[in-house]
């Protein structure tokens, strides 16, 4: 889990390889027609417990029954989190009310499947082993698995009937054999045209979820981390030339250093934080909260007192910082004491720091303050009917600003992840957070990312909104049983959606943000 969190916060792109799971139910307890001695019993138990496959009725699984094209796309759709796309397929043999319709819409939109003709999908047709391998390979590529270069493996050459593999399936079949998803029907035959069975598909599916593939994210992370390190060095040079004219602890700079930290560039992070100490800047809540979080992490890693001292300076800034009547930290100190305005930005930044400080320095009072920030915002800062995060609220009652501002939603996800990292978080709070996360994920576009405003269904996507939201979700899911409706396969697909906006290590497609309540500038840049 640490690796996926590192990569999504390395300028907002994640990667994950699913870990093997312990199966607590055997197939014989689930199906009348699957004995515990059957070769596929454990595989069938696995896919059933995970919810990827179900029985055929009457208490049976029908392990030897052929699997159809409609079944395969439905299972892959479930594996990816069952995200319903708004774009409908045009296949004439896919009625709008069938059990496989949403899966075919999704698979067709993302290029996981092609039709058997321009107008037909043939959902009830049995699927061959080579066609099954092709669907799984295309799916894998959509989740970040590196495209396979055919000819790199000798694994397929041992089969005497390799020449029978269709030209369109050779890359996928070679890949599937080389990574161990598909075995031969015998020592010398692979039988590419033979129909796949349900138990074979169950076995392949378990192997897939437990495999360690080569992902494209690692290379991208390194490219972006190189660019981020160059930007951090440039900031330090400009700060040295103009000490009073350059900030090192605003939220933008904080996100830059957070990316470096999660990418494992600790030397670069240490250089930056040490320079911050040397410059002697005074941390100012709340925008400095992200850098404050990093400072606490540095103390946790290195144990140097200078980082503890600096973390204490960040905390001291909140001593006289204004709050509303319920103790919610305000975004800035420029407003009159009577103003009761709370911004999601301030809640996210402050809570990220406070929660980490409380954990590292074992401060129960600060812990309670951090939890209060999330509890209050979930109660007063959400348009509850639709699960949209408001930019802010006033007087613990009136919602203000854009509902569903993408980046603001991401800021709240930072806060949620922070308080859920405490040991034994309150179950009611976890449930409320899960509800918001699930509703937020329902606003993912067909292209698997978020727009600058979540309720805007058209227009460009927003990498800053997508990255901050998913970083928070991933941090929260470090407890792998949390938010079960948001699968890691789904998260990988969302990560892939950012790729077109990454060029030479620079992330484009980031919204211009907001200048205050009702003042938004979704102008896209890097």
Find all residues with CB under 8 Å of 313, minimum gap 6, and list them. Answer: 282, 283
Is the per-residue pLDDT at 230 higher than 80?
yes
Q: Which band of pLDDT confidence, cut at 50, 70 and 90, is reported for residue 38?
A: very high
pLDDT at 22 (0 to 100): 38
Q: State mean pLDDT over 516-521.
A: 62
> What is the per-residue pLDDT across 251-267, written as a single tens digit (0 to 9) for each?
999 999 999 999 999 99
Q: Which band of pLDDT confidence, cut at 50, 70 and 90, is reported for residue 521?
A: low
pLDDT at 386 (0 to 100): 87
Is the per-residue pLDDT at 19 higher than 50?
no
Q: Which band of pLDDT confidence, cut at 50, 70 and 90, is reported for residue 249?
A: very high
Q: Which band of pLDDT confidence, cut at 50, 70 and 90, is reported for residue 5?
A: very low
Q: State mean pLDDT over 315-332.
A: 91
Residue closest to 70 by CA, chosen among 152, 1, 23, 132: 132
pLDDT at 487 (0 to 100): 86
Q: How far apart are CA 299 and CA 360, in angstroms?
A: 8
Is the per-residue pLDDT at 15 higher than 50?
no
pLDDT at 338 (0 to 100): 58
Residue closest to 370 by CA, chosen among 422, 407, 319, 440: 422
pLDDT at 432 (0 to 100): 94
pLDDT at 436 (0 to 100): 94
- Among the ranges given (187-191, 433-437, 510-514), the one the predictor scored with the smallest mean pLDDT: 510-514
pLDDT at 396 (0 to 100): 82
Is there a contact between 435 and 387 (Cβ–Cβ < 8 Å)? yes
* Four-residue CA torsion sign, 439, 515, 395, 340: positive
The separation between CA 189 and the C-alpha centre of its own chain, rounded to angstroms, equals 40
Residue 280 φ/ψ region, left for φ over 0, alpha for ψ in the -120 to 50 degree band, beta for the rest? left
Q: Which band of pLDDT confidence, cut at 50, 70 and 90, is reported for residue 485?
A: confident
pLDDT at 8 (0 to 100): 39
Q: Which band of pLDDT confidence, cut at 50, 70 and 90, is reported for residue 524?
A: low
Is the per-residue pLDDT at 525 higher than 80?
no
Q: Which band of pLDDT confidence, cut at 50, 70 and 90, is reported for residue 12?
A: very low
Q: How far apart are CA 343 and CA 501, in angstroms?
A: 29
Q: Which band of pLDDT confidence, cut at 50, 70 and 90, is reported for residue 28?
A: low
Q: State mean pLDDT over 370-374.
A: 97
Q: Which band of pLDDT confidence, cut at 50, 70 and 90, is reported for residue 74?
A: very high
pLDDT at 7 (0 to 100): 37
Q: State mean pLDDT over 507-522.
A: 67
Q: How far apart are CA 330 and CA 342, in angstroms?
A: 5
End-to-end CA distance of the chain: 28
Q: Which band of pLDDT confidence, cut at 50, 70 and 90, is reported for residue 337?
A: low
Higher pLDDT among residues 315 and 495, named by residue: 315
Is there a contact between 292 and 311 (Cβ–Cβ < 8 Å)? yes
> What is the per-residue pLDDT across 414-431, written as a single tens digit (0 to 9) for each?
999 999 999 999 999 999
- Among the ranges given (139-148, 152-161, 308-317, 509-518), the one the predictor scored with the smallest mean pLDDT: 509-518
* Residue 502: DSSP 8-state: E
H runs (alpha helix) in 303-422:
305-316, 344-361, 364-380, 406-420
> What is the per-residue pLDDT across 164-220, written as a single tens digit (0 to 9) for each?
999 999 999 999 999 999 999 999 999 999 999 999 999 999 999 999 898 888 888
- Among the ranges given (145-159, 194-208, 237-251, 301-315), the one the predictor scored with the smallest mean pLDDT: 145-159
User: Is 245 exposed, middle or buried, given 0-12, 13-18 or 19+ CB atoms closer than 10 A?
Assistant: exposed
Q: How far apart are CA 231 and CA 506, in angstroms?
A: 10
Q: State mean pLDDT over 323-348.
A: 82
- Among the ranges given (60-69, 273-282, 463-472), the one the predictor scored with the smallest mean pLDDT: 463-472
φ and ψ at residue 397, rounded to 5 degrees: -150, -50
Is the per-residue pLDDT at 50 higher than 60?
yes
Is the per-residue pLDDT at 61 higher than 70?
yes
Higher pLDDT among residues 220 and 522, named by residue: 220
Q: Which band of pLDDT confidence, cut at 50, 70 and 90, is reported for residue 518?
A: low
Q: 139-154: string of b/e by CB count within 10 Å (b at 16+)? A: bbbbbbbeebeeeeee
Is the per-residue pLDDT at 148 higher than 90?
yes
pTM of the model: 0.85
Is there a contact between 423 and 367 (Cβ–Cβ < 8 Å)? no
Find all residues with CB under 8 Å of 75, minimum gap 6, and list them. Answer: 47, 52, 53, 201, 205
Highest mean pLDDT among 296-305, 341-350, 399-408: 296-305
Q: How far apart are CA 62 and CA 67, in angstroms?
A: 10
Q: Which band of pLDDT confidence, cut at 50, 70 and 90, is reported for residue 4?
A: very low
Is there a contact between 505 and 226 (Cβ–Cβ < 8 Å)? yes
* Strand-pair partners of 265: none
pLDDT at 23 (0 to 100): 42
User: Is 99 exposed, middle or buried, given 0-12, 13-18 or 19+ CB atoms closer than 10 A?
Assistant: exposed
- Among the ranges given (61-70, 111-120, 392-401, 509-518), the one the predictor scored with the smallest mean pLDDT: 509-518
Q: How many CB atoms lie within 10 A of CB 305?
A: 9
Q: Which band of pLDDT confidence, cut at 50, 70 and 90, is reported for residue 520?
A: low
Whole-angstrom CA distances from 97 to 51, 100, 102, 103 are 21, 8, 9, 12
User: Is 134 exposed, middle or buried, given 0-12, 13-18 or 19+ CB atoms closer than 10 A?
Assistant: buried
Return mean pLDDT, the chain.
Answer: 89
Residue 343 φ/ψ region, left for φ over 0, alpha for ψ in the -120 to 50 degree band, beta for the rest? beta
Q: State mean pLDDT over 64-82.
A: 96
Residue closest to 444 by CA, chosen among 106, 73, 108, 146: 106
Residue closest to 16 by CA, chosen among 212, 148, 205: 212
């Amino acid at each position: 889990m640490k690796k996926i969190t590192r990569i999504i916060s390395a300028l907002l792109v994640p990667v994950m390889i699913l870990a093997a799971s312990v199966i607590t139910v055997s197939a014989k307890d689930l199906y009348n027609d699957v004995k515990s001695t059957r070769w596929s019993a454990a595989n069938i138990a696995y896919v059933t417990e995970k919810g990827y496959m179900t029985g055929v009725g009457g208490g049976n699984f029908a392990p030897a029954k052929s699997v159809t094209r409609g079944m395969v796309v439905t299972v892959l759709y479930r594996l990816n989190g069952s995200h319903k796309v708004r774009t409908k397929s045009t296949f004439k043999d896919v009625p709008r009310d069938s059990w496989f319709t949403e899966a075919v819409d999704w698979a067709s939109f993302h290029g996981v499947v092609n039709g058997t003709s321009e107008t037909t999908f043939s959902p009830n047709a049995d699927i061959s082993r080579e066609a099954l391998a092709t669907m799984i390979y295309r799916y894998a590529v959509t989740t970040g698995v590196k495209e396979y270069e055919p000819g790199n493996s000798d694994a397929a050459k041992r089969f005497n009937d390799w020449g029978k593999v269709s030209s369109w399936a050779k890359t996928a079949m070679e890949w599937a054999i080389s990574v161990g998803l598909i075995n031969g029907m015998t020592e010398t035959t692979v039988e590419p045209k033979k129909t796949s069975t349900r138990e074979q598909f169950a076995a392949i599916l378990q192997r897939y979820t437990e495999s360690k593939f080569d992902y494209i994210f690692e290379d991208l992370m390194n490219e972006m981390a190189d660019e981020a390190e160059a930007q951090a060095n440039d900031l330090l040079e400009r700060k040295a030339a103009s000490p009073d004219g350059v900030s090192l602890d605003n939220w933008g700079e904080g996100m830059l250093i957070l990316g470096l930290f999660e990418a494992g560039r600790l030397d670069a992070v240490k250089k930056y934080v040490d320079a911050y100490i040397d410059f002697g800047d005074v941390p100012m809540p709340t925008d400095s909260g992200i850098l404050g979080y990093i400072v606490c992490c540095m103390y946790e890693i290195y144990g140097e007192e200078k980082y503890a001292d600096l973390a204490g300076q960040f905390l001291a800034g909140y001593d006289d910082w204004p709050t509303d009547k319920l103790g919610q930290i305000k975004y800035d100190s420029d407003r009159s004491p009577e103003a009761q305005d709370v911004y999601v930005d301030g809640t996210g930044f402050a809570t990220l720091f406070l929660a980490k400080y409380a954990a590292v320095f074992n401060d129960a009072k600060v812990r309670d303050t951090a939890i209060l920030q999330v509890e209050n915002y979930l109660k007063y800062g959400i348009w509850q009917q639709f699960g949209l995060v408001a930019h802010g609220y006033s007087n613990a009652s009136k919602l203000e600003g854009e509902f569903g501002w993408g980046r603001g939603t991401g800021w709240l996800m930072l806060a949620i992840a922070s308080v859920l990292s405490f040991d034994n978080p309150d179950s009611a709070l976890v449930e409320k957070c899960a509800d918001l996360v699930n509703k937020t994920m329902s606003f993912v576009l067909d292209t698997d990312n978020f727009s600058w405003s979540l309720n805007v269904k058209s227009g460009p996507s927003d990498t800053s909104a997508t990255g901050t939201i998913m970083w928070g979700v991933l941090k929260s899911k470090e407890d792998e049983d949390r938010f079960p409706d948001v699968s890691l396969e789904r998260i990988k697909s969302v990560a892939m959606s950012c790729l077109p906006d990454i060029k030479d290590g620079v992330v484009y497609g980031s919204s211009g943000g907001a200048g205050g309540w009702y003042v938004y500038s979704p102008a896209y840049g890097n």
